[in-house]
Structure formats: C-alpha cells, structure tokens
C-alpha cells in the first residue's frame, strides 16, 4: 500500500522558519519526481517546488525562490522543504506529490498525493 505522509506544518510568525517532510513508502521512491504544492483558501492549488527523482534538477515557484530549499534523501524515502523568511501569503495547506519520471518538466498529473500539512503564518 502506498503511503505519503507530510509533516512539519504549524503556526509560525512572519520571518520564521519551518521544515516540512514528505515520507513515503510502498513504491520506488527514487524513480519519482517529488513535488510540493500548496493551496490557500479561495485559491487554486499551485506548485511550489519540485525535485527530480535523481536530484538532477530542482524547481521553485518564483514567489519562494531564495526562501525555500527542497532536498531529498532517497535512502530514507524522504523529501524536505526548508522554508525560511515565511510570509503571510505562504499560509496554505502544503501537499506532497509523487510523479513517475526523471525530471520535473512532465505533465501536471501526479501518481500519488499525500493528505497535506497546514502552514499558518500569523503574528
């Protein structure tokens, strides 16, 4: 059975930091590109970051460049999203998705999604 579990969300003040984790099991994790996407109330879900299956490429949404860093440890079947200098507009449910492939330039469809973890930035 495939499991994707996000963790690390919570309530932080503007300028604070969080590290999200995406732990997976039940599939060959190092064959999948891993995406982080987020959805704020009343807004469409948007891709935030992606790391390719073999870490040959990383992608960041323009709004988070320089603040967020994605990394993966395939030996642990885990991808991380380090979020620094958090802003009010970063408030959203953050989802981890897995897409079979070698790079992050494929289609929009994911093979698997986690249930999400809530990040709230508030003073």
pLDDT digits (tens, 9 = 90+) for 67-76: 999 999 988 9
CA distance 78 to 71: 9
Average pLDDT value over all residues in the chain: 95
Q: For 90-102, how does the pLDDT look when each residue is reduced to its tens digit (9 = 90+)?
A: 999 999 999 999 9
Two tokens, residue 42: 């009343």
Two tokens, residue 100: 């079979």
- Alpha-carbon distances, residue 13 vs 9, 82, 88 (angstroms): 13, 15, 9
Q: For 11-40, how does the pLDDT look when each residue is reduced to its tens digit (9 = 90+)?
A: 999 999 999 999 999 999 999 999 999 999
Strand bridging mode 10-12 / 117-121: parallel
Q: What is the pLDDT of residue 105?
A: 84
Q: Per-residue pLDDT averaged across 55-79, rounded?
A: 94
Q: What is the pLDDT of residue 106?
A: 74
**Residue 107 pLDDT grade (very low, low, confident, very high; cuts 50, 70, 90):** confident
């Amino acid at each position: 059975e495939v499991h994707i579990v996000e963790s690390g969300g919570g309530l932080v003040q503007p300028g604070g930091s969080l590290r999200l984790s995406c732990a997976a099991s039940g599939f060959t994790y190092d064959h999948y590109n891993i995406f982080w996407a987020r959805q704020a109330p009343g807004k469409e879900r948007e891709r935030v970051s992606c790391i390719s299956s073999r870490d040959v490429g990383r992608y960041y949404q323009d709004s988070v460049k320089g603040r967020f860093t994605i990394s993966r440890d395939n030996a642990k079947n885990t991808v991380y999203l380090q979020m620094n200098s958090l802003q009010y507009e970063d408030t959203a449910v953050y989802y981890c998705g897995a897409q079979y492939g070698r790079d992050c330039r494929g289609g929009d469809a994911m093979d698997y999604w986690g249930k999400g973890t809530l990040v709230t930035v508030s003073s």
